[in-house]
Amino acid sequence: MLEYSEFREFVKGNGLSRQNRYTVELALPVSLVNVSSSTTQRILPLLCRSVSVPGVNVATAPVRYTGEVIEAPYDRTFGDANIVFLVDRQMDLRYLFDNWIHIIQDPGKRTFGYYNDFMAPTISINILDKRETTINYTLTLFEAFPKTIGDLTVDQSNNEMMTLPVTFNYRYYLTKTNPNAVSSPTTTTPSTPWGSGTFPELIPSNLQPSFPENLPAVDALETVNLTKTFIPEI
């Protein structure tokens, strides 16, 4: 059992992450770069007031096995990323996102643009150490675009800074940690994969997992193992 003294020494030696130590890097789509203020593009990461690092969900389906019901995983889904931006006096930030939405759908013709024209190649969220000199953790969203642009609130009785919440959808994300900032992982014995041994062939074909065949090359990020899980076909 972990003693309090061990916990105290761990916190003293390793520290705890703080919410206000982060940076955001946005690689805007080329079609948006051509119609937006260059100044706004440069300061856009600094206008990020808060960021919600998205989570991941594992979808499961009940499978009956020897009188018991087991939840078998068959898909992985990602949550949306939420970023709250500070709005500049000239409203260039709001204008940038207006243009982004117009690239997704033409407001006059009501036609939708091509996917490659409106998706941002990457949005990276970096978690920094206390001194803001080392990146301890990076989460990079791939092929992102604004799904929801929130309300701008104005109020005569409120003199607070104006903010703009934006919800981003994306295809997937990858993470990277600083090997010098984390402890070595504990070695564990891998469990038996689905479909091996004597596990019955009971998972319907419509619940079989699907994986992208070719993910774009990722520089400076750890390789992710996308080996298909062995689930037997019926």
pLDDT tens for each residue of 201-219: 444 454 444 444 554 444 4
* pTM for this model (two decimals): 0.69
> Which residues neighbour 210 within 8 Å (Cβ) at sequence distance 6 or greater?
75
Helix (H, G, I), strand (E, B) or coil at 145: strand
Q: Sorting pLDDT into bands at 50, 70 and 90, what band is 66? A: confident
CATH code, 82: 2.30.110.20
Q: Which of 217, 142, 126 is nearest to 174 (CA)?
A: 142
Task: Answer yes or no: is 216 within a domain.
Answer: no
Task: Judge whether 14 lies within some domain.
Answer: no
Whether 63 is covered by a domain: the verdict is no
Position 40 in a domain: yes
Has residue 233 got a pLDDT over 90?
Answer: no
The answer as to whether 64 is a domain residue is no
Domain assignment present for 95: yes
3-state DSSP helix/strand/coil % of the chain, to nearest 5: 20, 35, 50
Distance, in Å, from the CA atom of 112 to the CA atom of 75, rounded to the nearest integer, reads: 29
Determine how many CB atoms are found less than 10 A away from the CB of residue 154.
Answer: 7
pLDDT at 215: 46
Q: Is residue 186 part of a domain?
A: no
Q: How many beta carbons lie within 10 A of that of residue 100, not counting itself?
A: 21
The DSSP secondary-structure symbol of 78 reads E
* pLDDT band at residue 142 using 50, 70 and 90 as cut-offs: very high
Query: Domain range holding 93?
Result: 36-58+69-179
Pairing of strands 172-177, 163-169: unpaired
What average pLDDT does this structure show over 98-126?
94
Q: Is residue 86 part of a domain?
A: yes
Cα–Cα dist 198/175, whole Å: 34
Question: In 3-state terms, what secondary structure has residue 172?
Answer: strand
Two tokens, residue 171: 């295809």
Percent of the chain exceeding pLDDT 90 equals 42
CB 113 within 8 A of CB 104: yes
**Residues 153-203: tens digit of each pLDDT:** 888 898 899 999 999 999 999 998 876 654 433 333 344 444 433 333 444
Which residue type occupies 25? E
What is the average pLDDT across 72-100?
92
Instruction: Please give the pLDDT value at position 180.
Output: 63
Domains in the chain, number = 1
- The total of other beta-carbon atoms located within 10 Å of residue 97's CB is 17
